[in-house]
């Protein structure tokens, strides 16, 4: 299926159309499955969310699905009705499917009753840090989708909403990242930039740029945070690049006393966001 076919199958239909689908070979079902591939997500700007909880979270942020598939037997459950009604009201596509079809759409072991499709939202680097936010987060070449999803959830939990992905990052709209974000993918604002573009942006940023580094010269607990502060986290394997380290105002380390030589990226992000709260 080409990206054009996928887009057509999911977005070209009479507004609020309802269909009952019992064959996994159905074209619309194949289109949803095709969004498992990064190249299809990149070309269509669509992504898939499993489960009612994340879809309800999206709805609470005024985002209705472009398309929703749910188990026909669950059609009268209140949360399913709420999601279907919102999808219909916004002109989306409603697919009542049988268990076999839903099993094909779901990547989780205990398959969900709802799978929905949304359009990705990316913000311009020009707007990064332009609001009245006191903390921003940047991740340099984050590679693991589970880490990225966990970081989105954690940042949302600390009310840090502007998140910049620098360099060759994993896709935040990949299924694993979306699952790990537990609905926070809808609560945060995502930006992306090359390292060069970031370094140019950084020249104009009036706030404090705090890099986290295993051999940072300052203990994170002693840092005088300012508003706004930009926290920069490094890659899982390589840490912060030399260029990025040089661009930071401060390099802080989280003290470690055991035998492990570093914290997992998502854990280090959580500790840093916690420390930066005052």
Please report whether residue 69 would count as binding ligand SAM according to CB under 6 A. Answer: no
Q: Which is nearer to ligand SAM, 81 or 246 (CB)?
A: 246
Query: Which two tokens mark 145?
Result: 């989708």
Please choose, out of 24-32, 130-138, 193-201, 255-263, the segment that lies near ligand SAM by the rule CB under 6 A.
255-263
Q: Minimum distance between the CB of residue 169 and ligand SAM, rounded to whole angstroms?
A: 14
Taking the C-alpha atoms of residue 172 and residue 48, their distance in angstroms, rounded to an integer, is: 11
Q: Minimum distance between the CB of residue 220 and ligand SAM, rounded to whole angstroms?
A: 7
- Output phi, psi for 228, to 5 deg: -85, 150
Q: Minimum distance between the CB of residue 219 and ligand SAM, rounded to whole angstroms?
A: 10
Please choose, out of 32-40, 86-94, 122-130, 253-261, the segment that lies near ligand SAM by the rule CB under 6 A.
253-261
Q: Please name the residue that has the structure tokens 């399913």.
A: 80
Q: How many Cβ atoms are within 10 Å of 247's Cβ, its own excluded? A: 18
Q: Do 80 and 31 meet the contact criterion of CB atoms below 8 Å apart?
A: no
Please report whether residue 254 would count as binding ligand SAM according to CB under 6 A. Answer: yes
User: In 3D, which of 185, 275, 162, 258 has the Cα closest to residue 221?
Assistant: 275
Taking the C-alpha atoms of residue 148 and residue 156, their distance in angstroms, rounded to an integer, is: 12
Report the relative pairing of strands 135-140 and 229-233 from DSSP bridges. Answer: parallel
**Chosen residue from 202, 234, 247, 270 binding ligand SAM by CB under 6 A:** 234
For the chain, the farthest-separated pair of C-alpha atoms sits apart, in whole angstroms, at: 61
How remote is the C-alpha of 270 from its chain's centroid? 16
Please choose, out of 3-11, 109-117, 185-193, 237-245, the segment that lies near ligand SAM by the rule CB under 6 A.
237-245
Taking the C-alpha atoms of residue 56 and residue 35, their distance in angstroms, rounded to an integer, is: 21
Query: Which two tokens mark 117?
Result: 């499709």
Map residues 194-233 to x or -, x wherever contact with ligand SAM holds by CB under 6 A: ------------------xxx-x----------------x
In total, the chain counts a number of residues equal to 278
Please report whether residue 240 would count as binding ligand SAM according to CB under 6 A. Answer: yes
Q: Which is nearer to ligand SAM, 69 or 233 (CB)?
A: 233
Q: Minimum distance between the CB of residue 208 and ligand SAM, rounded to whole angstroms?
A: 16
Which residues form the interface with ligand SAM (CB under 6 A)?
Answer: 212-214, 216, 233-234, 236-237, 239-240, 253-254, 256, 262-263, 265, 268
């Amino acid at each position: 299926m080409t990206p054009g076919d996928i887009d057509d199958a999911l977005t070209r239909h009479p507004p609020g159309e309802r269909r009952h689908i019992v064959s996994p070979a159905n074209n619309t079902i194949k289109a949803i499955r095709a969004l498992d591939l990064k190249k299809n997500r990149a070309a269509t700007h669509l992504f898939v969310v499993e489960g009612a909880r994340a879809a309800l979270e999206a709805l609470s942020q005024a985002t209705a699905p472009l398309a929703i598939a749910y188990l026909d037997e669950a059609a009268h459950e209140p949360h399913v009705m709420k999601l279907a009604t919102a999808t219909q009201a916004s002109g989306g596509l409603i697919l009542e499917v049988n268990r076999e079809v839903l099993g094909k759409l779901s990547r989780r072991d205990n398959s969900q009753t709802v799978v929905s499709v949304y359009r990705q939202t990316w913000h311009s680097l020009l707007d990064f840090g332009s609001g009245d936010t006191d903390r921003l987060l940047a991740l340099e070449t984050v590679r693991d989708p589970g880490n990225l999803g966990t970081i989105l959830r954690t940042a949302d939990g600390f009310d840090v909403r502007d998140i910049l992905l620098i360099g060759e990052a994993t896709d935040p709209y990949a299924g694993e990242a979306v699952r790990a974000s537990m609905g926070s993918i809808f609560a945060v604002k995502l930006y992306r930039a090359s390292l060069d573009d970031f370094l140019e942006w950084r020249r104009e940023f009036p706030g404090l740029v705090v890099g986290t580094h295993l051999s940072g010269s300052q203990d994170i607990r002693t840092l005088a945070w300012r508003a706004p502060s930009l926290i920069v986290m490094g890659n899982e394997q390589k840490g912060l690049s030399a260029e990025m380290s040089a661009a930071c105002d401060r390099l802080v380390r989280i003290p470690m006393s055991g035998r492990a030589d570093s914290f997992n990226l998502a854990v280090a992000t959580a500790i840093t966001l916690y420390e930066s709260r005052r």
